[in-house]
Amino acid sequence: QVHLQESGPGLVKPSETLSLTCIVSGGSISSYYWSWIRQPPGKGLEWIGYIFYSGSTNYNPSLKSRVTISVDTSKKQISLKLSSVTAADTAVYYCARFVGWNDGPDIWGQGTMVTVSS
């Protein structure tokens, strides 16, 4: 059974870069799309972007200038970098898998909380 595990610093200072990783276990990273989605405390879900295992990406235009998603297939790892963070970037960050380009996420990680504060 495929399992996703996010990890990274729980606290990031304003203007710095948020860096998270997602480890895929129990299944292949190849042939799938891997996305990042976030949820501010008490609020709804926001799509950040995705990466295909081959490396092609698509980002939410609202975050595009600050987001980089990368993949390391040898480590079965997906990474998220979000630069110039502010308090508005405080959220639970989820990684999630989807099967086809025209599909929605079917498997989610448990999420990791990131707080932006000095």
Partner 1 sequence: DIQMTQSPSSLSASVGDRVTITCRASQGIRNDLGWYQQKPGKAPKRLIYGASSLQSGVPSRFSGSGSGTEFTLTISNLQPEDSATYYCLQHNSYPRTFGQGTKLEIK
Is residue 68 within the footprint of partner 1 (CB under 8 A)? no
Residues 17-46 that bind partner 1 (CB under 8 A): 35, 44-46
Length of the chain measured in residues: 118
Residue with tokens 């990274």: 8
State the Cα–Cα distance between residues 83 and 31, nearest whole angstrom: 28
- For position 72 contacting partner 1 by CB under 8 A, the verdict is no
Judge contact between 6 and 93, C-beta under 8 A: yes
What does the DSSP 8-state code read for residue 17? -
Examine residue 115 and tell whether it contacts partner 1 (CB under 8 A): no
Residue 110 touching partner 1 (CB under 8 A)? yes
Q: Would you tell me which residues interact with partner 1 (CB under 8 A)?
A: 35, 44-47, 49, 58-62, 94, 96, 98, 102-106, 108-111
